[in-house]
Amino acid sequence: MGITLEQAEKLIDAAKKKSVELDTKMNIAIVDAGANLVAFARMDGAWLGSLDISIKKAKTARFFDMNTGVIGGLSQPGGPLFNIEHSNGGLITFPGGVPVKNATGDIIGAIGVSGSSVENDHAVAEAGAAVA
């Protein structure tokens, strides 16, 4: 079973709360198990350029079922996934994308967050994913 709209909205609420705690404004995207966009929120004042990045982070995390920062480490020159960011219509391989799992550990979607430092993006994405 994939993520429902109700679940996606809870993830967005948790991510927005963490973003407020960090005093930043984020774009937050939730995709389902098929990497299709289910829900999106752009906080007031969030960077317009981060809208597409947040969606691509969510899709990247779901395509490979791992945090986007992990993929970034593997895609450096000489790494086993070097140049992977050019596949699938463009991937984002820095932190801020996290797979979302249900209570039994099955991946049901992913969250992607962009709008601040990669550390803040990842922290906000983790906060959202934690409420699934």
Looking at the predicted structure, is the pLDDT value of residue 1 above 90? Answer: no
- Domains contained in the chain, number: 1
Residue 27 is part of which domain span?
Answer: 5-31+43-108+115-129
Q: What is the pLDDT of residues 41-98, one digit of tens each?
A: 999 999 999 999 999 999 999 999 999 999 999 999 999 999 999 999 999 999 999 9
Integer CA distances (angstroms), 132 to 9, 43, 69, 72, 102, in order: 10, 21, 20, 24, 6
pLDDT at 5: 97
- 36 domain residue, yes or no: no
- 19 domain residue, yes or no: yes
CB 14 within 8 A of CB 128: yes
The single residue listed with the structure tokens 């709209």 is 5
- 71 domain residue, yes or no: yes
- 37 domain residue, yes or no: no
- pTM equals 0.96
The CATH number of residue 57's host domain is 3.30.450.150
CB 27 within 8 A of CB 51: yes
- 93 domain residue, yes or no: yes
CA distance linking residue 124 with residue 77, whole number of Å: 28
Looking at the predicted structure, is the pLDDT value of residue 19 above 90? Answer: yes
